[in-house]
Amino acid sequence: MANVNTDTYLENNKRYAKGEAIHKPVHPGKQPIAPARHVAVVACMDARIDVEDLLGLQTGDAHIIRNAGGVVTDDTIRCLIISHHLLNTNEIILIHHTRCGMLAFTDDLLKAGLEGDPAAEKLLGQATGRAFTSCKTAASTPTAFHAFRGALEPLDAPCDAKQKERLQWDVRRGLSAILSHPWIPTEGPDAVTVRGFIYDVDTGLLDEVSYPGPMGSIG
């Protein structure tokens, strides 16, 4: 299974972390619709992450799919299937990151706070450092916020061994969701490679997550 572009982008990341700008922020002119490097990247929406810069991507190289946490949701899978089968990508890069906001709450806690539970409002306010304003209503969507597993920690807490373990758990869950989907082939002539990483927002470096491995506890 080829990883030629993923490996190149890892080398670009080392240069980026040292202060070198590789991404060229200029309009490249007319380009084809399919990503030139056949790569799809799934990453968090965090404002401290510029995917093009940290991987040294150029405009037209890759599909970039972002959401809160870089979670492999149904919509992420939808995008990856379209990306691969219709637009010829064959390398998937999954990126989570340190000090992620998804470590600071649970789905039930956020739903309770939005619905008006005073205790939940207080906890969410403490976690975020801002007054949490409840909507005081229930809603059927979203069905899940996909908060990461494990014991809660303050929003934007410094990365330690426990935080890194929690991030690794969720990266592996994402990798498993992609690798086990019947419409994303991992064998044969149309195979896709999938690799997962944790991006350190303080150093700018990517650290690869081994797979398979532990996927976490709810405690």
| Residue 44: predicted pLDDT | 98
Q: For residues 5 and 63, state if they share a domain.
A: yes
Domain of residue 18, CATH code: 3.40.1050.10
Whether 43 has a pLDDT exceeding 70, the answer reads yes
pLDDT category at 219 given cuts 50, 70, 90 is low
Segments forming the whole domain that contains residue 23: 1-48+59-99+192-214
Phi/psi of residue 194, nearest 5 degrees? -135, 125
| Residue 155: predicted pLDDT | 92
Question: What's the domain count of the chain?
Answer: 2
What does DSSP say about strands 39-44 and 62-67: parallel, antiparallel, or unpaired? parallel
Domain-located, residue 66: yes
Percent of the chain with pLDDT over 90: 90
Whether 160 has a pLDDT exceeding 50, the answer reads yes
Q: For residues 76 and 109, state if they share a domain.
A: no
Q: For residues 26 and 72, state if they share a domain.
A: yes
For residues 97 and 151, what is the distance between their CA atoms, to the nearest angstrom?
Answer: 17
Whether 217 has a pLDDT exceeding 90, the answer reads no
| Residue 176: predicted pLDDT | 97
Whether 179 has a pLDDT exceeding 60, the answer reads yes
| Residue 216: predicted pLDDT | 85
Q: How far apart are the first and last CA of the chain?
A: 36
Strands ordered across the beta sheet of 39-44: 62-67, 39-44, 91-97, 193-199, 206-208
Mean pLDDT of the chain: 94
pLDDT category at 1 given cuts 50, 70, 90 is very low
Distances (CA, A) of 188 to 1, 27, 92: 9, 37, 16
| Residue 3: predicted pLDDT | 76
44, β-bridge pairs: 67
Q: For residues 78 and 122, state if they share a domain.
A: no
Tell me the average pLDDT across 86-91: 97
